[in-house]
Amino acid sequence: MSTARAAAILLAKELRLEFRTRELLNATIVFALVVVVLFSFSFDPTSAESRRLGPGLLWIAFLFSGSLMLHPSFGREQVNQTLDALRMAPISPFALVLGKMLANFLFLSAAEVVLVPVFAILYNVGLTGVAGRLTLVIVLGTFGLCVTGTVFSAIAAHARLRELLLPLLLLPILTPLLIAAVEATASLLAPEPGLDRGWLALLAGFDIVFLTASWLLSDFLLEE
């Protein structure tokens, strides 16, 4: 079976599993909302201040909710040793990792679709006119987050203290992604919106480097 087809089947499985309960998605959205609301107490949310601090706030909310949401990705497979069953399937290990990456990407994107308008309303930030470019930045950033996060979820699943370990491994590695995404978002929310190609290139570079590394290393990741 081709890797793409196997990944698609596994993606469908992840989506079916999640939409039976929607518990992960609901918890992630509520958590991200809590972060966004709590941040409003750390500064005076006038329009100018929000434009300055909002992008960082938004991406910190994405990163925190992502790093919590990604743990069940592999953690969930351990309860009934279902990962062993998946490992025995005649598919490449990368298909398994890729299916989970795409599922996590869709879950986090769904949470962001709810979160961004709420953020715009609560902090008086206008998004009309930049929606398309903002979507591009968010998609690139979220994808990079899910690529590294899924791999680290597989690593942390075998360790003790795994819920705590995943953010610890993930957040420092996401520094370049955070800087690029925050700066790109900030330039889009500025009074005169613009988008620096350098930041987009960096986000795309991050995605490509770590997707390639995951592809090369996925054999070892799922080794028994």
The answer to the question of residue 206 lying near other proteins (CB under 8 A) is yes
Total site size for other proteins, rule CB under 8 A:
31
Kindly state the smallest distance separating residue 75's Cβ from other proteins, in Å.
Answer: 14
Q: Are 7 and 98 in contact (CB under 8 A)?
A: yes
The answer to the question of residue 159 lying near other proteins (CB under 8 A) is yes
Kindly state the smallest distance separating residue 40's Cβ from other proteins, in Å.
Answer: 25
Q: Which residue from 158, 163, 190, 194 is in contact with other proteins, where contact means CB under 8 A?
A: 158
**Gyration radius from the chain CA atoms:** 18
The answer to the question of residue 165 lying near other proteins (CB under 8 A) is yes
Kindly state the smallest distance separating residue 117's Cβ from other proteins, in Å.
Answer: 28
Kindly state the smallest distance separating residue 178's Cβ from other proteins, in Å.
Answer: 8
Q: Which residue from 169, 195, 200, 204 is in contact with other proteins, where contact means CB under 8 A?
A: 169
Task: State the Cα–Cα distance between residues 94 and 82, nearest whole angstrom.
Answer: 17
Task: State the Cα–Cα distance between residues 202 and 113, nearest whole angstrom.
Answer: 23
The answer to the question of residue 209 lying near other proteins (CB under 8 A) is yes
The answer to the question of residue 161 lying near other proteins (CB under 8 A) is yes
The answer to the question of residue 168 lying near other proteins (CB under 8 A) is yes
Nearest to 188 by CA among 50, 40, 51: 51
Q: Which residue from 6, 57, 146, 202 is in contact with other proteins, where contact means CB under 8 A?
A: 202
The answer to the question of residue 221 lying near other proteins (CB under 8 A) is yes
Task: State the Cα–Cα distance between residues 55 and 57, nearest whole angstrom.
Answer: 5
Extract long-range pairs of 7-13: CB within 8 Å, 24+ residues apart.
7/95, 7/96, 7/98, 7/99, 7/102, 8/99, 9/99, 10/86, 10/95, 10/96, 10/98, 10/99, 10/100, 10/103, 11/99, 11/102, 11/103, 11/106, 13/99
Q: Are 175 and 210 in contact (CB under 8 A)?
A: no
The residue behind tokens 């490449």 is 92
Site for other proteins in 170-199 (CB under 8 A): 172-173, 175-176, 179-180, 183, 198-199
Site for other proteins in 8-47 (CB under 8 A): none
Chain residues binding other proteins by CB under 8 A are 148, 151-152, 155, 158-162, 165, 168-169, 172-173, 175-176, 179-180, 183, 198-199, 202, 205-206, 209-210, 213, 217, 220-221, 223
